[in-house]
A = this chain, B = another copy of it.
Amino acid sequence: MLTISHRGQQMPASPIRKLVPYAEAAKKKGVRVYHLNIGQPDIETPKPILDAVRNFDFKVLEYSHSAGNESYRKKLVKYYEKVGIDISYQQIIVTTGGSEAILFGFMSCLDAGDEVIIPEPFYANYNGFAVAADVVVKPIPSHIENGFALPPIEEFEKAITPKTKGIVICNPNNPTGYLYSKEEMERLKKIITKHNLYLFSDEAYREFCYDGKHFSAMELTDVEDHVILMDTISKRYSACGGRIGALVTRNKQVYDTVIKFAQARLSPPSFAQILAEAAVDLPDNYFDTTKAEYQRRRDVLVKRLNAMPGVFCPNPGGAFYAMAQLPVDDTDDFCQWLLESFSHKNQTVMLAPASGFYGTKGSGKNEVRLAYVLNVEDLNKAMDCLEVALKEYKTLEKKPLYVEETN
């Protein structure tokens, strides 16, 4: 018989997308669904950078350099300079989204069976890239009580084995919104130095920090060879569909290896490189408006959530996600119920059950991730729905769900 590969079988289906059929069914019934489940911002892509694409003047849509257009990489150097990261364009490989940067990083540094430690909850697709690269994810717990701060050194040390080759962080974090402090980053430095590990740092949400300054892993000194930055323009400029990211490292050997993977797939997309290059020239205050908008939404969301009985939502310092603990036993069931059986004024809300963000089975059962990618008005309506839903669900849970057979 023709067989599917083991890795293909292990490959997790997207935990966020599994509820999609229920959302589609709700919409077919005429129910309006507020999508707080995915990280697709509603913020408009800046017009000048869309115009840059509209105004291209080449006649042949050629392959670009495998590492990305040199002109774009040189521009990126300036961007990184502005955010306090000093690198040269020969330390940047433009990738097809941040996704490819993660895959290339894993493929180049890790072998089958090697382990990476990731504080959980974490971005679910790390699992996918780990399966593709046949790498083992070792989750260590972070906790909602302290806002999902970096786990203590002992937790890392407990998880380290001879097969451990790296630590993966996302800063500010998806799904928790937690922003690692400089002190926490220095703690990570100690661990990677002592145990000789790579630090894969996903900084997709760098621009969106509300209660502190972002401290990049690339700013750590004396660990130049350890740090692999995985970056993307997707969230920065609301340009998710462009599929432009970057892998940045000062480790020459890693760079030379990644470039071989990049050559095999020929080049990153050309059109979106034009957009990305133009984006570096956006005025310095471009992010101010976007950031202020996200912060306003965060404040509304967190306040509304914490005002609901039994709900706890720590204040996220960055990104556009919040994790909340709900007074329900199983958010997978609850989120499905929200779409399948609930509506309030003919509206409902779609949330991401947190279970998909945990590597440890059974963790996060009463948590959800909320992406505040809707305007304040819609966010409030979504929170109205959630508030009513929690009350209704509570009375439901007390009812017997089935009648036991009597004979």
Contacts and interface: CB of A to CB of B under 8 A. Distances in A.
Interface of A: 1-9, 11-14, 17, 40-45, 50, 53-56, 59-64, 66, 96-97, 99-100, 103, 107-112, 114, 125, 128-129, 132, 134, 165, 196, 198, 225-226, 238-243, 251, 253-254, 257, 260-261, 263-272, 275
Given A43-B60, A241-B267, A243-B243, 4 more contacts: A8-B257, A50-B56, A96-B265, A242-B270
5 contacts: A5-B108, A44-B59, A45-B61, A50-B61, A96-B243
Name the 9 nearest CB pairs between A and B, nearest first.
A128-B264, A241-B270, A271-B271, A8-B257, A99-B265, A269-B269, A14-B263, A11-B260, A8-B108
Chain A interface mostly: loop
A242 B275 CA distance: 14
Contacts of A103: 265
Nearest to A237: B61
A4 B261 CA distance: 13
A61 B238 contact: yes
> How often does this chain occur in the complex, in copies?
2
Contacts of A114: 5
Contact of A266 (B43, B55, B66, B99): B99
Most buried by B among A9, A62, A64, A100: A62
Nearest to A5: B111
A202 to B, nearest CB: 14
A50 B103 CA distance: 31
Nearest to A99: B265
Contacts of A253: 4
A256 B144 CA distance: 35
Contacts of A59: 44-45, 50
Contacts of A238: 60-61
Nearest to A38: B63
